[in-house]
Structure 1
C-alpha cells in the first residue's frame, strides 16, 4: 500500500501542471466534500499554472466614416456652431486690423515735403581766379579747378557759386566776356561741362553787374538792353548753368524783370534740372516781390557786415537774433557774411550747416588744400619743419577742418531732422565752472532743436571764452541722454547725458537725443 502511494506521488510529480490531491489522513492536498470519500481512488488533480489569455487581434487603423465623425463631433449641430465661431474670429481680426490702420492714419506724423535740388544741396562759393592764382604753378589755368571737382563732391558739396567770372563793367552786350584772370569763354564752358559730369550744379554770380544798362528819368530800362541781358542768360543756360545769383540792390531785382527771366528759366528747366534765381540779401530788411515764386533762394548772412572783427558778444547777439526770427517767405540759404575770429570759425560752420535751409560755405583754403598736403610736403624744399612741429600742427588742423565739414554735410544729407525737420529755439540759463568774475560778460550758451517725428537733434553753441555746464533743469521735456554726432574739436564720441555735459570755450556740439531704452 505504501509503495502504491509513493508511485502515485511520483506519477503526479512527473505529470506537468498537476499535483496529487490525496483524501487520506495525511491531509496534504486533500479535498473533502459531501459525498466524497477520502480514498485514493477519489483523489483529484488540478492545474498548478493558469494559462495566459490569448492576445486580442490587432485592429488595423481605418479612417472614420461621415456618420462616425458627426457622432464623435457631437452631431450636426456643432458644425453650425463651429462655422459661427470661425466667422466671428475673422470678423474680430478684420476689426482689429481696421482699428490699427485707423490709428496709424489718424495719428499725427510729419509730412514729407519733396525738396528741390537746391533745398538739399550745400553751396560752396569760390572765386576761380583766386584759386587759380594759388595753384597756377602746379596745374595752370582753369584746369586747377576742374581737377578739384570730384574732391568737392566727395566732401558733400552739391552746388558751386562761381564769383568774379565777369568784369564789373560788363554790359548786356558783353556779359559773355569773362574777366582777364578767369580765363576765356571756352574755358568756362569746359568748367561747366566738367561740373555736370562730377554731379555739381553751377550758379553764376552776376551780382552788382549793370546788366540792364542805364535807366531813364522815369526809372525804366531800355527794352533793347533787357533783351540783350535775356540773350546772355540764354547763352549760359545752354552751356549748363544751373542758375544765377543777383543782389537785392540790382535793377534786375524787380517783379517785371524777374517775371521775364522766369520765363527763360522755365524753358531750360525740367523736373530734375530746374534752373533757379538766388538773391543775395545785402540790406537789413529784404522786400520780396509780390510774387515770391519768382525767387527760389535768398542768401542771408548770420553776421552783420563790419570792418573790424566782431567780439564774442556781438557774434552771440547776431546769432540769437536770427534764431529767434521766423522768416518763412522764401527758402533761406545761410552764410557767415561778417568777420569773426578764427576761434569762432568752426562754430559758425556748425551753425549754418544745421539751420533750416541751404548752407552756403565760403571758400576755405584749409578744406581746399587738404588733398594736396602730401604733394606739397614731398615737393617743397622751402618750407621746413621747425622744432615746434608747426607744419605737423597745420596738417592736423587741415585734416580736422575736412573731417568736420564732411561730418556735417553727410549728417545733413542722411538725417531727415537736419534736412527738413522743425526748428525750436531753446533759451535757458547756464552755469559756469570758471571762478572768474568775467562770467557776467560772457555770452550764454545758445541752443536749438531740430526735430522730425521722434528724432531730435540738439545743437549747443558756446560762443564765449568760458567753460559752461548745462543747468539740469534747462529743458525738462527733452530726453536727458544722447549720442555725439560731431563737434568743433572732433573729439566727442559715444553717449552722453546733458546734466554731465560741459562745453569748452568757442565749442559747438551736435547731439542726437534718444529716450531711455530706445536706440532710434
Structure 2
C-alpha cells in the first residue's frame, strides 16, 4: 500500500512500505524460567513415567491386589511408595495328596453311593417315561357301528311262521314286522303271531323291529263320544260351523270328518287318516304310547318303527288348508290341498324325542325309526340333531325311469342338504337289475333293505364291511355327461372304493382322473366286483390292475374298483 504508514508493536511509525512482518518477543519473567528448568529435569530422569503409570496398565502378578497400598509423599516431588503384602494362594492338591484320600473308606463309600444313585435315578426316569407313555390317554377309535347300522335289514309279513326265521340269510341283522292290523293300545295277546316272531328272534342272531301306528286307536273312542271328562280330549273334536239355514258344516276344509250328534250337542270329529285320530297335544295320550313302546320292548323287540309319523300333530288353530298345485284333484280329495296344517308340524321332533328316549333307556343299542320317507327333514330334528335313526329313502331308487342326473341330485340333497348321514335304502326300481342296485345301496352310506328271500352277496358284504365304507367319506359325481353315476368311499390309511353305474343302454369308457377332481393323479385301479350283466372281458378278472383313464362299463351295469388314495384326498 503506497504512501501508507503503519505503527509497529512498540508504537513507532513504520516507514517501510513492504508488508513483511518483523520478529518481536516478550521478555520472560524469572518465575517462568525456573518452571521450565524443573520440567526439563523431570523429563531427563523419567520421574513422570515412574510416578504416574497409565490408568489402563494392570499389574501382572500372582499377588492379591487387595493388599497393595499406595502411599504418596508430596514432599518428595510427588513420589509414590508401594507397600505389597504377598500372601500364599491355594492352588489345589497335588497327586500325592489326592492319592492319600483315594482309598479313604469315607470317600470310597461316597463314590459308590453316588454311582448307584445315578443309575437308580436313570432307571427311575426310564420307567417313568414308559409309564407316562402307557398311561397317556389314547385317541379314542370311532365307536363301532351298531347292528342296525351294519345291516342289511329285511321286512316280513306278520303271519310269517316263527320257524321261517331260521331261513333268513345269516347275514341279515334284523327284520321289520308290522302291528298295523291291530290296535297297539289294546292289551297284548301272548299268542299273537307277531309276539311269537319276537320270541323266536330272541333265540337267534336276528332281531325283531316292530312297526306301530300311534296315530289312531279305538280303545277310548266310545267313552270319548260319551263326553267322558277324563277322555274328552283324547281325540280331535271341534264344534261345527252353522249356516244361516241351520245346516252344520265342518270347522275347516280338512278331509275327512264325521259329524257326531249327542243330544243337543253337536261336534265334528277330525279324521286325517280316515280313523279316529288321537290328540297328541294331550300329555296323557303321549304317555300312553310311551307305555305301548315299553310293552313291546319288554317282550323282546330290539327296535320300534313309527308309522304315519308326519300326521301325528295338527294345527292348534284348526285353520283351513291351502290349495295345492297338483293337477287332477277336486276340493273333496286329499291331494287337492297342501296339508301344511295336518302334516309335518314343527313340534313333531319334540314329540318323537320323548318316545326315542324310552327306546334308548330300555335297550343298550335299540333302534328308533319312522316308516315313512321324510318330506321335511327339519321337523324330525331337535337342536339340529335327528331324533330318529335310519331315515327311510325309498323314492330315489324306486322310480321306473330314474336318470343318472336325478340320482346324483337326490343323493347330494340327502347327504348335503338334509344332512342325513345313514339312511335306510329301499330300492324297488325296475330301471336297473337288482344286483346293480344292491351294489349301490350296499356301498353308499346307510343300510340296504333287502327282500326276505335274498341271499346276501358275501363278496359285496365284505366290501361293505371295509373301513372305507363303514367310516369313510362319500363323494358323489355324475360323470361322462351325466350318464354314469360314480361315488368314492375313502378313509385315512385304507384303500379307497370307487363305484360306477352306467345308466346308458350302450357301453361307455370312463376316464376317472379327468372326470373326478379328487382322483386327478390316479393312474391305476383294481377290479373288486361287478354286476352279473357286466360283460367287459378285460375287466372281469378280480384283483386285476387296470388303467384308470380307460375303464369300460357295460350298459345298465355296475363295477366296484379299489385304488390307493393320495394324501390330498
Give TM-score, length-normalised by structure 2. 0.51
Matched, 1:488 2:518: no
Q: Tell me if structure 2 keeps the 8 A contact 1:335–1:352.
A: yes
Q: 3-state SS of the aligned residue for 1:325?
A: helix
Provide the C-alpha distance between the structure 1 equivalents of 2:281 and 2:488, rounded to a whole number of angstroms. Answer: 46
Structure-1 residue corresponding to 2:472: 421
Structure-2 residue corresponding to 1:355: 444
Superposition map of 1:404-419 within 5 A? 404=457, 406-413=458-465, 415-419=466-470
Q: 1:112 to 1:147 in 2, by over 3 A?
A: closer
Provide the C-alpha distance between the structure 2 equivalents of 1:343 and 1:297, rounded to a whole number of angstroms. Answer: 28
Matched, 1:157 2:172: yes
Provide the C-alpha distance between the structure 2 equivalents of 1:424 and 1:444, rounded to a whole number of angstroms. Answer: 14
Match among 187, 195, 203 for residue 197 of structure 1:
203
RMSD of aligned residue pairs (Cα, Å) = 4.3
Q: Tell me if structure 1 keeps the 8 A contact 2:158–2:177.
A: yes
1:217 CA drift (Å): 5.2
CA deviations 1:105-131 (Å, max 9, x no partner) are 99xx995344333333322233344xx
Structure-2 residue corresponding to 1:265: 359
1:144 CA drift (Å): 4.5
Provide the C-alpha distance between the structure 2 equivalents of 1:207 and 1:310, rounded to a whole number of angstroms. Answer: 32
Q: Tell me if structure 1 keeps the 8 A contact 2:368–2:389.
A: yes
Matched, 1:126 2:143: no
Structure-2 residue corresponding to 1:336: 426
CA deviations 1:405-451 (Å, max 9, x no partner) are x32223323x11111112223x3743xxxxxxxxx7x7234333333
Q: 3-state SS of the aligned residue for 1:249?
A: helix
Can you give the 5+ residue segments of structure 2 that lack an aligned partner in the other structure?
1-114, 219-233, 240-278, 314-346, 535-539
CA deviations 1:282-311 (Å, max 9, x no partner) are 3432122325667241423253598x7224
Match among 448, 464, 484 for residue 444 of structure 1:
484
Provide the C-alpha distance between the structure 2 equivalents of 1:110 and 1:484, rounded to a whole number of angstroms. Answer: 33
1:476 CA drift (Å): 4.5
Provide the C-alpha distance between the structure 2 equivalents of 1:472 and 1:264, rounded to a whole number of angstroms. Answer: 48
Provide the C-alpha distance between the structure 2 equivalents of 1:171 and 1:128, rounded to a whole number of angstroms. Answer: 14
CA deviations 1:261-290 (Å, max 9, x no partner) are 244324422x4xx32311244343212232
Provide the C-alpha distance between the structure 2 equivalents of 1:468 and 1:110, rounded to a whole number of angstroms. Answer: 44
1:504 CA drift (Å): 0.8
Structure-1 residue corresponding to 2:341: none
Provide the C-alpha distance between the structure 2 equivalents of 1:265 and 1:122, rounded to a whole number of angstroms. Answer: 21
Quick check: 186-195 or 458-467, which moved more? 186-195
Match among 158, 164, 170 for residue 145 of structure 1:
164
Q: Tell me if structure 2 keeps the 8 A contact 1:248–1:283.
A: no
Q: Tell me if structure 2 keeps the 8 A contact 1:297–1:331.
A: no
Provide the C-alpha distance between the structure 2 equivalents of 1:211 and 1:146, rounded to a whole number of angstroms. Answer: 30
1:484 CA drift (Å): 2.6
Structure-2 residue corresponding to 1:71: none
CA deviations 1:54-99 (Å, max 9, x no partner) are xxxxxxxxxxxxxxxxxxxxxxxxxxxxx9xxx9xx99xx9xx99x
Q: 3-state SS of the aligned residue for 2:395?
A: coil
Provide the C-alpha distance between the structure 2 equivalents of 1:320 and 1:331, rounded to a whole number of angstroms. Answer: 11
Structure-2 residue corresponding to 1:251: 312
Structure-2 residue corresponding to 1:346: 435
Q: 1:117 to 1:453 in 2, by over 3 A?
A: same
Provide the C-alpha distance between the structure 1 equivalents of 2:464 and 2:373, rounded to a whole number of angstroms. Answer: 27
Structure with bigger gyration radius: 2
Provide the C-alpha distance between the structure 1 equivalents of 2:383 and 2:519, rounded to a whole number of angstroms. Answer: 43
Provide the C-alpha distance between the structure 1 equivalents of 2:410 and 2:352, rounded to a whole number of angstroms. Answer: 31
Q: 3-state SS of the aligned residue for 1:241?
A: coil
Provide the C-alpha distance between the structure 2 equivalents of 1:176 and 1:209, rounded to a whole number of angstroms. Answer: 18
Q: 3-state SS of the aligned residue for 1:173?
A: coil
Q: Which has the higher helix share?
A: 1
Q: Tell me if structure 2 keeps the 8 A contact 1:205–1:245.
A: yes
Q: Tell me if structure 2 keeps the 8 A contact 1:303–1:318.
A: no
1:312 CA drift (Å): 3.7
Provide the C-alpha distance between the structure 1 equivalents of 2:180 and 2:469, rounded to a whole number of angstroms. Answer: 35
1:207 CA drift (Å): 4.6
Superposition map of 1:115-514 within 5 A? 115-129=145-159, 132=160, 142-148=161-167, 151-152=168-169, 154=170, 156-163=171-178, 165-167=179-181, 170-174=182-186, 176=188, 185-207=191-213, 209-210=215-216, 214-216=235-237, 220-246=280-306, 247-251=308-312, 254-269=348-363, 271=364, 274-286=365-377, 287-291=379-383, 295-301=387-393, 303-304=395-396, 309-313=400-404, 316-317=407-408, 321-322=412-413, 325-328=416-419, 331-336=421-426, 339-341=428-430, 343-357=432-446, 359-363=447-451, 365=453, 367=454, 402=455, 404=457, 406-413=458-465, 415-425=466-476, 427=477, 429-430=479-480, 443-471=483-511, 473-474=513-514, 476-477=519-520, 479-489=522-532, 493-497=542-546, 498-514=548-564
Q: Tell me if structure 2 keeps the 8 A contact 1:126–1:362.
A: no
Q: 3-state SS of the aligned residue for 1:284?
A: coil
Q: Tell me if structure 2 keeps the 8 A contact 1:468–1:504.
A: yes
Provide the C-alpha distance between the structure 2 equivalents of 1:464 and 1:323, rounded to a whole number of angstroms. Answer: 24
Structure-2 residue corresponding to 1:180: none
Provide the C-alpha distance between the structure 2 equivalents of 1:429 and 1:314, rounded to a whole number of angstroms. Answer: 9
Provide the C-alpha distance between the structure 2 equivalents of 1:110 and 1:454, rounded to a whole number of angstroms. Answer: 18
Provide the C-alpha distance between the structure 2 equivalents of 1:256 and 1:325, rounded to a whole number of angstroms. Answer: 24
Q: Tell me if structure 2 keeps the 8 A contact 1:350–1:408.
A: yes
Structure-2 residue corresponding to 1:47: none
1:499 CA drift (Å): 2.6
Aligned residues: 348
1:199 CA drift (Å): 1.7
Provide the C-alpha distance between the structure 2 equivalents of 1:267 and 1:317, rounded to a whole number of angstroms. Answer: 38
